[in-house]
Amino acid sequence: MIIKTVAATLLAMATSSIFLLFSPTPKSFYHSLFISSSLSDNASISNHLYTLTRRPHVAGQEANAEAAAYVLSIFTSSSIKTHIAPYPVALTYPVSRSLTLTPSPQEPQSQINFNLQQEIYSGDPYADVAHEVLPTFHAFAKSGTVTAPVVYVNYGSLEDYEVLKQMGVNVSGSIVLARYGKIYRGSIVQTAYEAGAVGVLVYTDRKDYGGGGGEGKWFPDGKWLPPSGVQVGTVYNGLGDPTTPGWASSEEGERLSDDEVEKAGDVPLIPSLPVSAADGETILRAIGGQVANDDWQGSEDAPTYKVGPGPGIVHLSYTGKQVIGTIENVIGVIEGTEEPDRFVILGNHRDAWTFGAVDPNSGTAALLEIAQRLGKLQKRGWKPRRTIVLCNWDAEEYGLIGSTEWVEENRQMLASRAIAYLNVDSAVYGPGFWASATPQLDELLKQATQQIDRLGSGESDFAAFVQHVGIPAADMAFGKGYPVYHSMYDDFIWMQKFGDPMFQRHVAVASLWGLVALWLADAEFLPFNYLSYALELQRYMKDLEDELPDKNINLAPLFKSIEELKKAAMKINSHREEIEQHKGWQFIGKNDHFKVRELNDRLMMAERAFTDQDGLLGRSWYKHLIYGPSKHDDYGSKSFPGIDEAIEKAKSLKTAESRKLVQHEVWRVARAVRHASQIINGELT
């Protein structure tokens, strides 16, 4: 008996030695190699950005197709199977614009005609292609001509209109002048329309974008927006092609008419134009009436802001054209060896309003850096456990069109197979690193940041993944905003001088972004922690209690469901530890593989449970009940968006029916959280 035991022990030792001798290189070796200085290349990433930003490249234009070809070539040369996913979608371009101001109706000869031009500076290396920059406009703006007195509305939020109402100022029939900075420009136009305005002008205030009007120097001598600089952008309040809401656009597919699109409520019904700081101040000087509050004023050397209406009268005319143009998503796939049917997706958009050095091509350059590093890892023998998908989106600037069409076309496949979506829009705005994520990824991001030695301390393409399908997602970047946003001065020179002179931040984002993707693709157990999710929801509950319009609204169902989620998260964490301990040094059996796969599936599918097929009230495309955009600001994100919207309505209406709606939304969220717990537990009731 003793002899048999010794023999068995020796056999086990010998087998273990042979296993170790011939075992493959551990994934952790490749992960460390990925973030090492031997694979990263500041010069290469700088060259990518320079190449991508040589010309303005708006969606649907030739220059953007050339940029797509460049991305395709880098993916392909990195041994990544790549293809173009084209979509015919609705895009708009400016045809004509005019803006005049009559400061005083008694003196019509004093009329001012604005040239609406962003000025080329002396020595501008992009002067030869400046004519390719589209005239300043708002995408999907309503064509029309209006003449009316001007009212200054600060940032154009609901709260700002409430202040005007308290001041006795009526904006009905006027053209409003709002400044960029607090809310999404499409929300500015929509709120103005709801208040009765007939037109909208949105300008960049020097206080926010021009260095405060004091010592700050503007580009090219400083980072600030020149007085003639204009922030362009879309004023569409939906996501995806407005003519194919909820389904992917195709050549022969169903498409709404222009009238049907307008009735859907996501495109503006009054004309608008973006204008410069210089033009905005000129108009402000022609506005009389009451002096605006201190927090509505501009920089110290700016004129005193008054609210109007008038006496200045503005004549605004805009004509745009809508076309069905072809956009091109570039999709690269590195197939997994053990779980090819599980996808880890990385995405960034390529189209820009002008040169797009910050937005979005700092992110595109980082994505290309990741592609090249993954290509080098493959040459050294690395193969991912799960499939990695690299996505370069088109027409994001028009309303997340490229990513949304792709998600709508692949909805069922993504719902059943996607592990996570990792987004970078603009990789580098400036100093200071930040990241946001659905909470089960929080710990993973924290661990990754500790591995990258160069790290410091909006709506984007993740929207369709999280809010429509329910896929865990993260978004990351250096900095949070920059003065030359969406202007013709967002070029390679600005990035080289002010954003990231050594391109170290670009390299750092690529390292972190890629490392998180590698961990998700290669880890045997998905590194999701739903305990973080439950704790985050408990924090949201404290805020929710403070917002309730009626203390008789019962939050107990939601409290209880979150506690159930917490218990389920702790249980699955313990289950994972049990499987790991059971395996120990033993060979992995078929049953162990099944247990790991089954546990991972529960972790992957739990986020889907936070979605509801009916979506948010009046916004059915948004299915996620935990996270969603604010109804009055697409830049703003809300926890429990359905409850939040119901509370806002109840505070306004003060009726029993509106309070009942709040309770209904509480029940909806409670059910969704409970469903997530059931999936994590993996048991039928």
Our measurement of the distance from residue 24's CA atom to the centroid of its chain's CA atoms, rounded to an integer in Å, reads 38
CB 374 within 8 A of CB 334: yes
In angstroms, what is the C-alpha Rg of the chain?
27
Backbone CA torsion sign across 352, 358, 359, 360? positive
CB 307 within 8 A of CB 292: yes
Neighbours of 317 (CB within 10 A): 17
CA pair distance 419, 474, nearest whole angstrom:
12
CB 485 within 8 A of CB 491: no
CA pair distance 58, 50, nearest whole angstrom:
16
Q: Coil, strand, or helix at residue 337?
A: coil
Distances in whole angstroms, Cα of residue 155 to Cα of each of 20, 184, 396: 64, 10, 24
> What six digits make up the tokens of 327?
């956009």
CA pair distance 486, 463, nearest whole angstrom:
20
> What six digits make up the tokens of 381?
């023998």
CA pair distance 254, 48, nearest whole angstrom:
38
The b-or-e profile of 296-312 (16+ CB within 10 A means b, else e) is bbbbeebeebbbbbbbb
Helix, strand, coil percent content, the chain, rounded in steps of 5: 45, 20, 35
SS (H, E, C) 633-680: EEEEEEECHHHHHHHHHHHHHCCHHHHHHHHHHHHHHHHHHHHHHHHH
CB 183 within 8 A of CB 235: no
| Residue corresponding to tokens 């998260």 | 569
Write 453-456 long-range contacts (CB < 8 A, 24+).
Answer: 454/504, 454/505, 454/507, 454/508, 454/511, 455/508, 455/512, 456/431, 456/432
Name residue 178's beta-bridge partners.
Answer: 202
CA pair distance 364, 374, nearest whole angstrom:
15
Q: Which residues contact 227 (CB under 8 A, 6 or more apart)?
A: 206, 210, 218, 276, 277, 278
User: Residue 228 carries which side chain, given as an amino acid letter?
Assistant: S
Spatial CA neighbour of 473 closest among 517, 410, 509, 523 = 517
The DSSP letter of residue 359 is T
Phi, psi of 476 (to 5 degrees): -150, 155
CB 250 within 8 A of CB 88: yes
Neighbours of 63 (CB within 10 A): 17
The DSSP letter of residue 148 is E
| Residue corresponding to tokens 């002396």 | 122
The DSSP letter of residue 250 is -
Backbone CA torsion sign across 599, 602, 605, 607? negative
Q: Which of 396, 564, 648, 665 is catalytic?
A: 396
CA pair distance 242, 246, nearest whole angstrom:
9
578 tagged catalytic: no
Spatial CA neighbour of 499 closest among 480, 475, 474 = 480
Longest dimension (CA), the chain: 115
* Catalytic residue IDs: 396
